[in-house]
Amino acid sequence: MKDERAVLLPICSEKQVFSKWMWLAITAAINIPFIISNIHHDLLFILGSLFPSLCVSVLFLLCKLTTELDPDGFHYKYFPFHLNWHLVEKEDIAKIYVRKYSPLKEFGGWGIRGVFPAKAYIIKGNMGIQFELKDGRKVLFGTQKPEEWEKVIKEMFADSKVLE
């Protein structure tokens, strides 16, 4: 769990955010049915009642998944849920590979998903970096750059037995 990320330059890195269209769709899906069902109330009641759902909408707007690979291992931060970096140490990895997945079928959606032993960090898309750890846990990180990650992973782990 590092916060001093300037120690080693990353070999590969990626930043992902929810698209504005996704944010707009989530906001509409949360708020429009509520407004329609409460149209008979006064405006102050509606605005006050919408506040929690608008906070959730803003939370989606702030979400950012940052991933980096360096000689120490795989670093990740899912803001605003992770304020500090988390690390999957290179020595803890049993297998690592890039794969296609279904966010809805496998994990029930986007965001930080799953429970022990499988977990996923997904912003968008259907490609991810799959980790199988020596302690039996599985962690998937969504990526928009699968070819780049696959190339870097093969280069970095060429001498080990973690490649699938």
pTM of the predicted protein model: 0.81
Strand 138-142 with 118-122, pairing? parallel
Q: Which residues have C-beta within 8 Å of that of residue 66, sequence separation ≥ 6?
A: 13, 14, 15, 16, 76, 77, 78, 79
Q: Give the Cα separation of 23 and 20 in Å (integer).
A: 5
Cα(20)–Cα(24) distance, integer angstroms: 6
Q: What are the boundaries of each domain within the chain?
A: 19-61, 63-156
pLDDT digit string, tens, across residues 99-123: 999 999 999 888 899 877 889 999 9
Give the pLDDT confidence of 47-104 residue by residue, as tens digits: 777 787 778 778 888 999 999 999 889 999 999 999 999 999 999 999 999 999 999 9
Q: Left if phi > 0, otherwise alpha if psi is -120 to 50, otherwise beta: which for 131?
A: beta
β-partners of residue 133 are: 93
